[in-house]
Copies of this chain bind each other. A is one copy, B any other.
Amino acid sequence: MQEISTKLNEALELLHEKKFSSLRALLSTMEPADLAELLSSLPSEQLPLMFRFLPKELAADTFVEMDSELQQQLISAFSDNELTSLIEDIYLDDAADIVDEMPANVAQRILARASAATRAEINEILKYPKNSAGSIMTTEYVRLRPTMTVAEAFDIIRRTGIDKETVYTCYVTDDKRKLIGVVSALTLLTSEKTALIGDIMSTRVISVKTTDDKEFVAHQLEKYDFLALPVVDSEDRIIGIVTVDDAVDVIIDEYSEDLSIMSAVTPTDKPYLKQSVMRIWIDRIPWLLLLMISATFTGIIIRSFENALAAQVALTAFIPMLMDTGGNSGSQASVSVIRGISLRELEFSNLFQVMWKEFRVSILCGITLSITAFIKIQLVDNLIMKNNISLGVSATVCSTLVLTVVFAKFIGSVLPLCAKKLGFDPAVMASPLVTTILDAVVLLVYFMFATVFLKI
């Protein structure tokens, strides 16, 4: 980060001194992602000026890396010709993303300035549902025919390669555009010039459907260690490809979305430092309010056992410990299951296997905790601190521990699988909402055992 700000000052100085060729040289040595960072720290009136010093191709790559606010600023400063040239230079999947994120009038201006072919392809990508393979694919890939020779294939790559998102995996189709094979650039390089594509291609083709979930697609790419994965329609015709860089973005987004959901924050793409205080408040407060209000139930339960608590004040001191243990046991189980689902190791059909495993684990954990708690009460609370916890209270606490852990692990492991089955994000089921439910259950179990052991 230090380096970027040094380069920024250098660039501003060169701009100020009107040393334009040195400025252009300096900018050319930088990567698009770093340039985007540099441009985002510029005073906004200098942004279009500085951007125009970038070589054409680098400008397009840098534009894609910027956040949508900056992109919008630049677009409004562009002439129609500049806009056309930019749109034709960036990859179609990125162009579709940009059109999708801009306000309607800006999106319309972009589409109006794009060539008819580009416009058609962008619209093709935009018609797929938000989280589908279709929405993250690009339609720029190298398509070969089985009857071509290796030499002909290289001609195609040389002629069109620069506009394709990848040329390192080429897709072989029949007359009807049906995908019948793949051939890697390495295979092409190590084959005879006269060899036929049909003879050297691999027919071991893994593809996804346009309607498949984008997270599934990303994990397929990861599983098979591919650089790109072809996307086909319902008749197996190739429509586009998803490249590994987009798959990585999907995986990172999935990760940060899961994290947000699990800690009761509305997910956002924006970097933390760029979020306003009001925005953060809006993303967090509904959940805090919801959880606070839902904690009313625990309040009601405690109040209805007010007399029991007044008679046995010692019971109150164990409430936080029991609630925390319930919540922790539950989230341990749910995170194991959520992780299994997201790594595609678990699905709904494993429900009974998971339940049986968690049942045995919870019995083991419950008994361990219970014995430890009993020893701790006798040694620490009674012997050392002389709190005189009665055997009845000990029995209540220890029995509650066992049942709580069993129940928490059951809820924690079953809910994510059910959520997945119903089409929800399993991560919701590790959220504090579940902890709140468990709180109420723990208290009910606690007071039930108190009634049994303490006759109150």
* A residues at B contact (CB < 8 Å): 1, 28-33, 154, 157-158, 161-162, 167-168, 185-186, 189-190, 203-204, 206, 221-225, 227, 244-245, 247-249, 251-252, 255-256, 258-260, 262-265, 271-273, 277-278, 280-281, 284-285, 287-289, 291-293, 295-296, 298-300, 302-303, 306, 309-310, 313-314, 316-321, 323-325, 327-329, 331-332, 334-340, 342-343, 345-347, 350, 353-354, 357, 360-361, 364-365, 368-369, 372-373, 376, 380, 387, 405, 430, 432, 435-436, 439, 443
Contact = CB atoms under 8 A, between A and B. Distances in A.
Contacts of A306: 313, 316-317
A329 B278 CA distance: 16
Contact of A263 (B158, B190, B335, B340): B335
A44 B244 CA distance: 35
9 contacts: A30-B204, A251-B255, A259-B335, A263-B334, A273-B353, A296-B376, A303-B314, A306-B317, A328-B432
A225 to B, nearest CB: 4
Closest 6 pairs between A and B when the two form their complex, measured CB to CB: A295-B321, A272-B340, A263-B335, A298-B320, A225-B245, A299-B317
Contacts of A331: 263-264, 432
Given A222-B249, A271-B345, 16 more contacts: A31-B204, A256-B339, A262-B335, A263-B328, A264-B332, A272-B346, A273-B346, A273-B353, A287-B328, A291-B324, A291-B325, A302-B320, A316-B319, A320-B443, A324-B439, A328-B432
A276 to B, nearest CB: 9
A315 to B, nearest CB: 10
Contacts of A259: 258-259, 262, 335, 338-339
A60 to B, nearest CB: 13
Contacts of A360: 277
B227 A227 contact: yes
A132 B260 CA distance: 28
Contacts of A319: 302, 316, 319-320
A66 to B, nearest CB: 13
Contact of A252 (B33, B293, B343): B343
A387 B289 CA distance: 21
Given A248-B244, A364-B277, A321 B299 contact: yes
A173 to B, nearest CB: 19
A206 B31 contact: yes
Contacts of A293: 372, 376
A443 to B, nearest CB: 8
B337 A284 contact: no
A231 to B, nearest CB: 17
Contacts of A443: 320
Contacts of A361: 277, 280-281, 284
Given A206-B31, A336-B265, A303 B317 contact: yes
Given A262-B262, A357-B280, A292 B248 contact: no
Contacts of A380: 296
A252 B222 contact: yes
Contact of A185 (B185, B298, B324, B372): B185
